[in-house]
Amino acid sequence: MLDDATKERIEQDIKSEDVVLYMKGTPVFPQCGFSAAVVGVLTHLNVPFRGINVLEDDSVREGIKSFSDWPTIPQLYVKGEFVGGCDIVREMYETGELTEMFQTRGIDAQPA
Amino acid sequence: MPMQAADIETLIKDAFPDATVVIEDLRGDGDHYACRVVSAAFAGKSRVQQHQMVYKALGGRMGGELHALALQTSAPPAD
Protein backbone atom coordinates (compact mmCIF):
# COMPACT_ATOMS: atom_id res chain seq x y z
CA MET A 1 0.00 0.00 0.00
CA LEU A 2 1.29 3.47 -0.83
CA ASP A 3 -0.32 6.50 0.79
CA ASP A 4 0.00 9.92 -0.84
CA ALA A 5 2.36 11.34 1.77
CA THR A 6 4.82 8.45 1.34
CA LYS A 7 4.52 8.61 -2.43
CA GLU A 8 5.28 12.34 -2.41
CA ARG A 9 8.23 11.83 -0.10
CA ILE A 10 9.65 9.07 -2.33
CA GLU A 11 9.20 11.22 -5.43
CA GLN A 12 11.19 13.98 -3.75
CA ASP A 13 13.85 11.65 -2.36
CA ILE A 14 14.62 9.93 -5.65
CA LYS A 15 15.26 13.34 -7.21
CA SER A 16 17.20 14.69 -4.24
CA GLU A 17 20.44 13.37 -5.71
CA ASP A 18 21.57 11.87 -9.02
CA VAL A 19 22.02 8.43 -7.47
CA VAL A 20 19.79 7.22 -4.62
CA LEU A 21 19.91 3.75 -3.07
CA TYR A 22 17.08 2.44 -0.93
CA MET A 23 18.84 -0.07 1.27
CA LYS A 24 18.83 -1.90 4.58
CA GLY A 25 21.29 -0.13 6.84
CA THR A 26 23.61 2.70 5.79
CA PRO A 27 26.42 2.90 3.21
CA VAL A 28 28.91 2.67 6.08
CA PHE A 29 26.98 -0.13 7.87
CA PRO A 30 24.91 -2.08 5.36
CA GLN A 31 22.71 -4.59 7.21
CA CYS A 32 22.01 -6.97 4.35
CA GLY A 33 24.27 -8.77 1.91
CA PHE A 34 22.36 -7.59 -1.13
CA SER A 35 22.44 -3.94 -0.01
CA ALA A 36 26.15 -4.28 0.75
CA ALA A 37 26.77 -5.68 -2.73
CA VAL A 38 25.23 -2.63 -4.43
CA VAL A 39 27.10 -0.27 -2.08
CA GLY A 40 30.27 -2.14 -3.08
CA VAL A 41 29.64 -1.66 -6.79
CA LEU A 42 28.88 2.07 -6.42
CA THR A 43 31.92 2.57 -4.20
CA HIS A 44 34.16 0.69 -6.63
CA LEU A 45 32.98 2.96 -9.47
CA ASN A 46 33.47 6.05 -7.26
CA VAL A 47 29.85 7.06 -7.82
CA PRO A 48 28.61 9.34 -5.02
CA PHE A 49 25.13 8.31 -3.86
CA ARG A 50 22.58 8.89 -1.13
CA GLY A 51 21.68 5.84 0.96
CA ILE A 52 18.15 5.74 2.37
CA ASN A 53 17.83 3.25 5.23
CA VAL A 54 14.41 1.64 4.85
CA LEU A 55 14.79 -0.03 8.24
CA GLU A 56 14.16 3.37 9.81
CA ASP A 57 10.68 3.77 8.36
CA ASP A 58 8.26 0.95 7.56
CA SER A 59 6.04 3.16 5.40
CA VAL A 60 9.05 3.80 3.12
CA ARG A 61 10.17 0.16 3.33
CA GLU A 62 6.81 -1.05 2.05
CA GLY A 63 5.90 2.02 0.03
CA ILE A 64 8.97 1.85 -2.18
CA LYS A 65 7.98 -1.69 -3.23
CA SER A 66 4.58 -0.53 -4.46
CA PHE A 67 6.07 2.63 -5.97
CA SER A 68 8.39 0.66 -8.28
CA ASP A 69 6.37 -2.58 -8.44
CA TRP A 70 9.50 -4.30 -7.16
CA PRO A 71 9.19 -6.65 -4.15
CA THR A 72 12.63 -6.39 -2.58
CA ILE A 73 15.29 -4.06 -1.19
CA PRO A 74 17.82 -2.71 -2.27
CA GLN A 75 16.51 -0.52 -5.05
CA LEU A 76 18.76 1.75 -7.10
CA TYR A 77 17.48 5.00 -8.64
CA VAL A 78 19.48 7.12 -11.10
CA LYS A 79 18.14 10.57 -11.94
CA GLY A 80 14.79 9.61 -10.49
CA GLU A 81 14.47 6.41 -12.52
CA PHE A 82 14.39 2.87 -11.11
CA VAL A 83 17.39 0.88 -12.42
CA GLY A 84 17.03 -2.39 -10.51
CA GLY A 85 17.82 -4.43 -7.45
CA CYS A 86 20.99 -6.29 -6.54
CA ASP A 87 20.82 -8.88 -9.34
CA ILE A 88 20.32 -6.35 -12.11
CA VAL A 89 22.93 -3.89 -10.79
CA ARG A 90 25.47 -6.71 -10.50
CA GLU A 91 24.64 -8.09 -13.96
CA MET A 92 24.86 -4.60 -15.52
CA TYR A 93 28.17 -4.00 -13.73
CA GLU A 94 29.62 -7.25 -15.05
CA THR A 95 28.57 -6.50 -18.63
CA GLY A 96 29.78 -2.87 -18.44
CA GLU A 97 26.24 -1.55 -18.98
CA LEU A 98 26.21 0.10 -15.55
CA THR A 99 29.23 2.31 -16.27
CA GLU A 100 27.79 3.13 -19.69
CA MET A 101 24.39 4.01 -18.19
CA PHE A 102 25.99 6.34 -15.63
CA GLN A 103 28.10 8.06 -18.25
CA THR A 104 25.23 8.56 -20.69
CA ARG A 105 23.38 10.25 -17.82
CA GLY A 106 26.30 12.55 -17.10
CA ILE A 107 27.52 10.74 -14.00
CA ASP A 108 31.22 9.97 -13.86
CA ALA A 109 31.84 6.28 -13.01
CA GLN A 110 35.47 5.23 -12.97
CA PRO A 111 36.92 2.25 -11.10
CA ALA A 112 39.60 3.42 -8.67
CA MET B 1 7.70 -21.87 5.55
CA PRO B 2 10.53 -21.61 2.97
CA MET B 3 9.68 -22.67 -0.57
CA GLN B 4 10.82 -25.83 -2.35
CA ALA B 5 12.74 -25.52 -5.62
CA ALA B 6 10.11 -27.66 -7.37
CA ASP B 7 7.35 -25.24 -6.29
CA ILE B 8 9.25 -22.29 -7.73
CA GLU B 9 9.83 -24.16 -10.99
CA THR B 10 6.14 -25.13 -11.26
CA LEU B 11 4.96 -21.55 -10.68
CA ILE B 12 7.34 -20.18 -13.31
CA LYS B 13 6.53 -22.88 -15.85
CA ASP B 14 2.80 -22.32 -15.35
CA ALA B 15 3.32 -18.70 -16.37
CA PHE B 16 5.94 -19.40 -19.04
CA PRO B 17 5.17 -22.81 -20.59
CA ASP B 18 8.12 -22.54 -23.02
CA ALA B 19 10.61 -21.61 -20.30
CA THR B 20 13.71 -23.50 -19.33
CA VAL B 21 14.20 -23.03 -15.61
CA VAL B 22 17.37 -23.88 -13.69
CA ILE B 23 17.21 -23.49 -9.90
CA GLU B 24 20.08 -23.82 -7.45
CA ASP B 25 19.61 -23.88 -3.68
CA LEU B 26 22.53 -21.66 -2.71
CA ARG B 27 22.67 -22.52 0.97
CA GLY B 28 20.58 -25.67 1.26
CA ASP B 29 18.15 -23.84 3.53
CA GLY B 30 15.28 -23.48 1.07
CA ASP B 31 15.51 -19.71 1.47
CA HIS B 32 18.32 -18.60 -0.82
CA TYR B 33 17.99 -19.69 -4.41
CA ALA B 34 19.63 -18.78 -7.70
CA CYS B 35 17.32 -19.13 -10.67
CA ARG B 36 17.90 -18.84 -14.39
CA VAL B 37 14.86 -18.50 -16.67
CA VAL B 38 14.99 -18.48 -20.47
CA SER B 39 11.72 -17.75 -22.28
CA ALA B 40 10.63 -16.15 -25.53
CA ALA B 41 8.21 -14.06 -23.47
CA PHE B 42 11.18 -11.93 -22.39
CA ALA B 43 12.10 -10.89 -25.91
CA GLY B 44 12.24 -7.10 -26.24
CA LYS B 45 11.68 -6.55 -22.52
CA SER B 46 14.07 -4.72 -20.20
CA ARG B 47 15.70 -6.67 -17.37
CA VAL B 48 13.46 -4.93 -14.85
CA GLN B 49 10.36 -5.93 -16.83
CA GLN B 50 11.60 -9.51 -17.22
CA HIS B 51 12.19 -9.86 -13.48
CA GLN B 52 8.81 -8.26 -12.70
CA MET B 53 7.17 -10.88 -14.95
CA VAL B 54 8.82 -13.67 -12.94
CA TYR B 55 7.87 -12.04 -9.63
CA LYS B 56 4.26 -11.91 -10.79
CA ALA B 57 4.42 -15.59 -11.68
CA LEU B 58 5.59 -16.22 -8.10
CA GLY B 59 2.38 -14.61 -6.92
CA GLY B 60 3.73 -12.12 -4.42
CA ARG B 61 5.92 -14.65 -2.61
CA MET B 62 9.09 -12.81 -3.57
CA GLY B 63 10.40 -10.88 -0.61
CA GLY B 64 8.10 -12.72 1.77
CA GLU B 65 7.99 -16.53 1.80
CA LEU B 66 10.83 -16.46 -0.70
CA HIS B 67 13.56 -14.40 0.94
CA ALA B 68 16.26 -14.47 -1.68
CA LEU B 69 16.12 -15.39 -5.34
CA ALA B 70 19.16 -14.41 -7.39
CA LEU B 71 17.41 -14.13 -10.72
CA GLN B 72 18.83 -14.19 -14.24
CA THR B 73 16.44 -13.94 -17.16
CA SER B 74 16.91 -13.92 -20.92
CA ALA B 75 15.12 -14.62 -24.16
CA PRO B 76 16.37 -17.58 -26.16
CA PRO B 77 19.02 -16.58 -28.74
CA ALA B 78 17.39 -15.72 -32.09
CA ASP B 79 18.52 -18.49 -34.51
Contacts of A65 in chain B (CB under 8 A): 63
Question: What is the enclosing helix (H) or strand (E) of A75?
Answer: strand A75-78
Whether B76 shows a pLDDT value over 70: the answer reads yes
Pick the CATH number of A4-94 from 3.40.1080.10, 3.40.30.10, 3.30.70.360, 3.30.450.20: 3.40.30.10
Residues in contact with A36: Cβ distance below 8 Å, sequence separation at least 6, in sequence order: A25, A30
Coil, strand, or helix at residue A92? helix
Q: What is the pLDDT of residue B79?
A: 67
Nearest-neighbour CA in chain B from A28: distance (Å) = 23
Q: What is the pLDDT of residue B66?
A: 86
At residue B20, φ and ψ (nearest 5 deg) are -100, 135
Contacts of B47 in chain A (CB under 8 A): 84, 88, 91-92
Nearest-neighbour CA in chain B from A87: distance (Å) = 6
Per-residue pLDDT of A72-106, as tens digits, reads 999 999 999 999 999 999 999 999 999 999 999 99
Query: In this predicted complex, what is the ipTM?
Result: 0.88
Residues in contact with A67: Cβ distance below 8 Å, sequence separation at least 6, in sequence order: A2, A7, A10
Per-residue pLDDT of A9-28, as tens digits, reads 999 999 999 999 999 999 99
Whether B21 shows a pLDDT value over 80: the answer reads yes
